Amino acid sequence: MPAKFTLGKNERLKRRKIIEQLFAEGKSIAVFPLRVNFIFVTSLTVPLQAGFSVSARTFKRAADRNRIKRLMREAYRLQKGLLYESLHKKQQQMALFVIYTGKELPDYKTVSEKTGVVLNKLTKVVNEIPAPHA
């Protein structure tokens, strides 16, 4: 298991095939200003991979989009532990994509609180899965 508060290269969702599958077949949880699409997959090297996105239509300046993505990644990195543990226990793998849907620049406090709410909901979803047969 990796160190608790990391978000390394192998934990980032990059594979186009999985991303396309995620948006085509995945489920979604919305907690304004975030929407999270997620799907259970079997082809990952780690229990959890995540991607982050901000609309270029809403935020014209790349600096603003990058700042929001940085805030989302940081909040996720610090709070993913519980979800990671649940997935590890259930021997499941999840790909998720966090999308910022708000219209104005958020502060870290807001992003952090909402990320916590979303990750708790995802943890509940994982915990409802029947345990694997050992």
User: Shortest CA distance to 6 belongs to which of 73, 82, 56, 59?
Assistant: 73
Residue 79 inside a domain? The answer is: yes
CA–CA distance, 96 with 94 (Å, rounded to integer): 6
Q: What pLDDT does 72 receive?
A: 98
Three-class DSSP category at 129: coil
Q: Does the pLDDT value for residue 64 go beyond 60?
A: yes
- Domain containing 65: what range? 15-123
Task: Provide the pLDDT confidence category of residue 132 given band limits of 50, 70 and 90.
Answer: low
The burial class, CB within 10 Å (0-12 / 13-18 / 19+), for 131 is exposed
Q: What pLDDT does 133 receive?
A: 62
Q: Does the pLDDT value for residue 129 go beyond 90?
A: no
Q: How many domains would you assign to the chain?
A: 1
Residue 132 inside a domain? The answer is: no
The burial class, CB within 10 Å (0-12 / 13-18 / 19+), for 125 is middle
Residue 7 inside a domain? The answer is: no
DSSP track, 46-110 = SSEEEEEEE-TTT--SHHHHHHHHHHHHHHHHHHTHHHHHHHHHHT-EEEEEEEE--SSPPPHHH
The pTM of the full predicted model, rounded to 2 decimals, is: 0.92
For residue 102, what are the CA distances in angstroms to 50, 112, 114? 19, 14, 12
Residue 47 inside a domain? The answer is: yes
Residue 131 inside a domain? The answer is: no
Residue 101 inside a domain? The answer is: yes
Residue 6 inside a domain? The answer is: no
CA–CA distance, 80 with 6 (Å, rounded to integer): 9
Q: Domain containing 102 — which CATH number? A: 3.30.230.10
Q: What pLDDT does 3 receive?
A: 57
Per-residue model confidence as pLDDT tens digits over 1-22:
545 799 999 999 999 999 999 9
Residue 9 inside a domain? The answer is: no
